[in-house]
């Protein structure tokens, strides 16, 4: 396992990790969950793919990271690559996390109060435990810093942007970057215009022209845009005032409803899990069928809107748990874009599942790709690139 990078994705009560070798050697990966409680646990997969689970009672981020290092079978990484959700306008690419850079990350915390503080806790613990290792930050927002102003500005008083940074930032940048670069490699050349659809529990679309993000569906927060597992995506901006004035709901109640009780779950009154939803629709559950219809229509509508950002369309890319595994969702999205001239090959669509990469069009229209995302691999790649630039 030569020149491995340890990739860390720190949440408020969890740490996902993956030790990514420079070659094709197997990855060691796992997750420490329920940190800060007596139920804290570490679930790890070894190089043979075997699962191990152990108690970490009462462990905080630092104790969990120390336990994770012990599970690396004696491999010492060359660097730690940290996923950071929000980089504001400051970060356009991966950055070495020194004191100055960390102060800038802290300043963006107001834009991602639920995510950035957890990312910073993980970075602080990793720096303290392993001061000799370079620590690199890779930002979800960085790939979208190439958006032109007409795509990132809201039509709000300009002072809100100038004084408070209220603008569209976009998220899932690591995933959109990875799948569009992979499609460039598969299609040959990088003179391409791709529409990418990252469809997982969180969902977003992106228009990528010649390797650069030109527009995306998420905005100031990861709530804007598509219907997601439990998130509403776009609603009328007048909804908050309406719910407050007519029903007396507080801002916190409205925020929790839009983030946790909406989306596929809210529409179906059943589940946010696409597998269960498809099975229920199959059995004739009306809420599940409606949730599927709204979900797919809104993806198509978003892709059509984002096509305005591309001079030409090379093709569509599906990724994320749903994009990689649901031929039904892919077919419905494509059927809702009749004027795009897309020509789906049914057999290829049905057969491209469970981590398989493949082209699912007949060759007559724009290309249709299923590309499994690899956010950890992309973070390791960007971390290595940064170290090489600095060598
Ligand atoms: P992610 O957040 O990328 O892990 O994606 C999670 C979503 O992918 C959930 O809605 C899952 O139900 C969905 N998913 C995973 N496997 C399948 C499958 N075989 N068919 C349909 N949806 C799936």
Please tell me if the CB atom of residue 273 comes closer than 6 angstroms to any atom of ligand 1.
Answer: yes
Mean residue pLDDT of the chain comes to 95
With 80 as the cut, is the pLDDT of residue 103 above it? yes
Q: How far apart are CA 138 and CA 195, in angstroms?
A: 22
324 annotated as belonging to a binding site for a ligand: yes
Strands 79-84 and 203-209: unpaired
Q: 122: number of CA atoms within 13 Å, CB side?
A: 31
Best substitution site from 229, 325, 376 to test ligand 1's pocket, by max atoms within 8 Å of Cβ? 325
259-286 confidence digits (pLDDT tens): 999 999 999 999 999 999 999 999 999 9
* Residue nearest atom 9 of ligand 1, based on CA coordinates: 273
Please tell me if the CB atom of residue 325 comes closer than 6 angstroms to any atom of ligand 1.
Answer: yes
pLDDT band with cut points at 50, 70 and 90 for residue 65: very high
Atom from ligand 1 closest to the CA of residue 329: 21
191-228 confidence digits (pLDDT tens): 999 999 999 999 999 999 999 999 999 999 999 999 99
Residue 234 designated active-site: no
Atom from ligand 1 closest to the CA of residue 272: 10
Q: What is the pLDDT of residue 288?
A: 98
With 80 as the cut, is the pLDDT of residue 2 above it? no
Mean pLDDT of all residues in 118-142: 94
pTM exceeds 0.85 = yes
Q: What is the pLDDT of residue 74?
A: 84
Tokens of 388: 């090489």
138-168 confidence digits (pLDDT tens): 999 999 999 999 999 999 999 999 999 999 9
Map out the domains of the chain with their CATH numbers: 5-139 (3.30.420.40), 188-375 (3.30.420.40)
With 80 as the cut, is the pLDDT of residue 296 above it? yes
Those residues with Cβ within 8 angstroms of residue 30's Cβ, 6 or more apart along the chain or in another chain = 16, 17, 42, 43, 44, 45, 68, 71
Is the separation of the CB atoms in 5 and 380 below 8 Å? yes
């Amino acid at each position: 396992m030569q020149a491995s990078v340890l990739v860390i994705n720190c949440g408020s009560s969890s740490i996902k990790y993956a030790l990514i070798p420079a070659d094709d050697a197997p990855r060691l990966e796992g997750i420490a969950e329920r940190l800060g409680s007596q139920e804290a646990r570490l679930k790890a997969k070894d190089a043979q793919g075997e699962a191990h689970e152990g108690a970490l009672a009462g462990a905080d981020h630092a104790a969990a990271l120390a336990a994770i290092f012990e599970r690396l079978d004696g491999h010492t990484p060359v660097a730690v690559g940290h996923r950071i959700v929000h980089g504001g306008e400051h970060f356009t690419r991966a950055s070495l996390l020194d004191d100055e850079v960390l102060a800038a990350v802290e300043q963006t915390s107001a834009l991602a109060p639920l995510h950035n503080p957890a990312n910073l806790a993980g970075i602080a613990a990793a720096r303290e435990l392993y001061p000799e290792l370079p620590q690199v930050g890779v930002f979800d927002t960085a790939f979208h810093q190439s958006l032109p102003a007409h795509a990132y500005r809201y039509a709000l008083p300009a002072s809100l942007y100038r004084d408070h940074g209220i603008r569209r930032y976009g998220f899932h940048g690591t995933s959109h970057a990875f799948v569009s670069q992979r499609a460039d490699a598969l299609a040959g050349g990088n003179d391409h215009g791709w529409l990418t659809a990252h469809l997982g529990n969180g969902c977003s679309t992106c228009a990528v022209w010649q390797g650069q993000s030109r527009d995306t569906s998420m905005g100031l927060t990861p709530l804007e845009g598509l219907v997601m597992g439990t998130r509403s995506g776009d609603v009328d901006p007048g909804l908050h005032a309406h719910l407050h004035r007519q029903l007396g709901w507080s801002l916190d109640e409205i925020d929790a409803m839009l983030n946790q009780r909406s989306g596929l779950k809210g529409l179906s009154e059943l589940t946010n899990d696409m597998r269960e939803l498809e099975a229920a629709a199959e059995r004739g559950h009306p809420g599940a069928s409606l949730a599927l219809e709204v979900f797919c229509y809104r993806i198509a509508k978003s892709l059509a809107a984002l096509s305005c950002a591309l001079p030409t369309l090379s093709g569509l890319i599906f990724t994320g748990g749903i994009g990689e595994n649901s031929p039904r969702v892919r077919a419905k999205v494509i059927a809702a874009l009749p004027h795009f001239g897309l020509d789906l090959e049914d057999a290829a669509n049905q057969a491209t599942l469970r981590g398989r990469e493949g082209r699912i069009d007949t060759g007559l229209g724009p290309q249709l790709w299923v590309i499994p995302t690899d956010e950890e691999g992309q973070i390791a790649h960007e971390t290595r690139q940064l170290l090489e630039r600095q060598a």
